[in-house]
C-alpha cells in the first residue's frame, strides 16, 4: 500500500522479536520484496525507541479518552482507532508545525468533521428498519470514524451493533456514559432549609475584669544617695492588715480562672526567699 499510494519503497523494517514479526509467511514476503528485517534485542526496547515512544503516546491518549468518556474497557479498539485518527491530524513541531496528514496528502485536514468521543448521538435509520409509526432515529454513542466510509461510527447499545452513517445528530455536551462520581450541586440544597442555631455566648471582655491586685507583702524599691538599693515598707502593719482584708474581698469577686493567677502574683518562690520581687517597679 505504501508503494501504491505514496510511491515509496520500504527498505528496512525494524521491530521487536514478536511472533507476528518472525512468522514464516512474513519473512518469506520480506525475502521476495527485498526488505531487510531488523529486530531489537529481547527486553531492550531502547533499540527501537522511536516506535516505543509513539506506542506510549497512543496508549496514554487512549487511557485519557476512555477515562474522560467513562467508556467500558471493551471499547479500547475503537478508542485506539480514534486516537490514531486524531494524531494524524494534529500539528507537531517535528514536522515544522504541520500535521502528518498534511505532509502525506499535501493539503490541510478538515477539522469540522471532528466530534466529541463518547457523546450521545442519534443515527437516522434506513427505510428498511423503520415504518410509518416507528422512530426515524435511534440513540447511539459516538465511537469514532470509519476508514472505509465517509461517515461516523456509532454504537447502538440497545441492538448491540455498530452503525456507520453520515446522517447523525450529535449532542456533544451530553456523554453517553455519565460519571457516577460527578458532584451534583442540587443534593446540597437541603442545607438552606436547616433551622438557624443561636450564636455562642461571647467571652467576657478583659476590660470588665478588675485590675491585678497588689499583694500586701510587695515592697517598693528605693535608692539611697550611695546608689545601694534599700527596701522601704509601703504601709504599716495595721494598714497592711486592712489592705489584706480588702484585697481578699476583691480576690473573691474575680472569676476563678483569673483569681488563681492573681493569688501568687508578686510573691517569690519558696526557693528564692532571699530575693526581692521587682514586679512593683
pTM: 0.59
Query: Could you tell me if residue 204 is inside a domain?
Result: no
Is residue 199 assigned to a domain? Answer: no
Q: What per-residue confidence (pLDDT) applies to 44?
A: 83
Does 29 share its domain with 89? yes
In a domain, 190, yes or no: no
Q: Do 105 and 21 fall into the same domain? A: yes
Between the CA of residue 54 and those of 50, 51, 61, 83, 87, what are the distances in Å? 6, 5, 11, 12, 10
Return the residue matching grid coordinates 472569676.
Answer: 255
Do 103 and 133 belong together in one domain? no
Residue 127 CA: distances (Å) to CA of 130, 131, 150, 184, 215: 5, 7, 20, 41, 106
Last residue of a domain, one of 59, 94, 109: 109
**Neighbour tally for 68: CB within 10 Å:** 13
First to last CA, the chain: 103
At 267 the pLDDT is 60
Output the pLDDT for position 5.
82
Same domain for 217 and 261, yes or no, is: yes
Given this model, what pLDDT does residue 247 score? 47
Verify that 261 and 220 share a domain, yes or no: yes
Decide: 18 and 27 in contact? Cβ < 8 Å.
no
Boundary-marking domain end, from 138, 163, 180: 180
Quote the pLDDT of residue 102.
92
- Is the domain of 36 the same as that of 99? yes
Is residue 72 within 8 Å of residue 177, measured between CB atoms?
Answer: yes
**Is there a single domain that holds both residue 25 and residue 102?**
yes
Residue 136: C-alpha distances to residues 102, 155, 165 (Å): 38, 16, 14
Question: Count of domains in the chain?
Answer: 3
- Residue 280 covered by a domain: no
138 and 168 inside one domain: yes
CA distance to 59, 89, 99, 143, 157, per residue, from 77 (Å): 11, 19, 23, 10, 16
Is position 9 within any domain?
no
Range of the domain at 248: 210-272
Helix 76-87, helix 49-69: angle, nearest 10? 120
Same domain, 141 and 218: no
Is residue 87 within 8 A of residue 111, CB to CB? The reply is no
144 within some domain: yes
Determine the 3-state secondary structure of 176 from DSSP: coil
* One domain for residues 73 and 134: no
137: enclosing H helix or E strand: strand 137-145
Cell numbers at 201, concatenated: 455566648
pLDDT at 84: 95
28 plus 104 within the same structural domain? yes
pLDDT in tens for each of the 281 residues of the chain? 788 888 888 899 888 888 888 888 988 988 998 999 888 888 888 888 888 899 999 999 999 999 988 888 889 999 999 999 999 999 999 899 999 999 989 999 999 999 999 999 999 999 888 888 888 999 999 999 998 888 999 999 999 999 999 999 999 999 998 754 444 445 445 445 545 545 445 555 545 555 554 444 444 444 444 444 444 444 444 444 444 454 444 444 545 544 444 555 556 556 555 555 555 55
Q: Would you say residue 201 lies in a domain?
A: no
Q: Is residue 11 included in any domain, yes or no?
A: no
Amino acid at each position: 500500500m505504501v508503494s501504491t499510494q505514496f510511491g515509496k519503497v520500504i527498505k528496512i523494517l525494524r521491530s521487536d522479536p514478536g511472533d507476528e514479526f518472525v512468522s514464516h509467511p512474513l519473512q518469506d514476503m520480506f525475502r521476495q520484496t527485498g526488505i531487510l528485517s531488523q529486530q531489537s534485542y529481547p527486553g531492550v526496547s531502547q533499540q527501537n525507541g522511536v516506535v516505543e515512544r509513539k506506542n506510549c503516546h497512543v496508549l496514554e491518549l487512549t487511557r485519557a479518552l476512555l477515562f474522560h468518556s467513562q467508556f467500558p474497557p471493551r471499547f479500547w479498539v475503537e478508542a485506539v482507532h480514534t486516537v490514531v485518527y486524531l494524531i494524524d491530524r494534529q500539528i507537531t513541531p517535528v514536522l515544522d508545525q504541520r500535521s502528518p496528514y498534511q505532509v502525506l496528502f499535501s493539503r490541510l485536514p478538515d477539522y469540522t468533521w471532528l466530534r466529541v468521543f463518547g457523546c450521545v448521538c442519534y443515527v437516522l435509520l434506513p427505510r428498511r428498519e423503520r415504518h410509518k409509526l416507528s422512530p426515524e432515529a435511534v440513540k447511539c454513542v459516538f465511537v469514532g470514524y470509519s476508514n472505509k466510509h465517509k461517515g461516523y461510527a456509532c454504537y447502538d447499545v440497545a441492538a448491540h451493533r455498530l452503525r456507520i452513517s453520515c446522517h447523525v445528530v450529535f449532542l456533544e455536551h451530553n456523554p453517553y456514559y455519565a460519571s457516577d462520581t460527578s458532584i451534583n450541586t442540587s443534593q446540597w440544597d437541603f442545607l438552606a432549609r436547616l433551622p438557624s442555631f443561636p450564636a455562642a455566648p461571647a467571652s467576657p471582655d478583659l476590660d470588665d475584669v478588675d485590675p491585678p491586685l497588689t499583694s500586701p507583702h510587695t515592697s517598693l524599691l528605693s535608692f539611697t544617695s550611695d546608689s545601694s538599693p534599700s527596701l522601704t515598707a509601703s504601709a504599716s502593719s495595721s494598714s497592711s492588715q486592712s489592705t489584706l482584708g480588702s484585697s481578699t474581698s476583691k480576690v473573691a469577686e474575680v472569676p476563678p480562672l483569673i483569681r488563681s493567677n492573681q493569688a501568687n502574683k508578686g510573691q517569690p518562690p519558696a526557693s528564692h526567699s532571699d530575693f526581692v520581687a521587682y514586679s512593683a517597679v
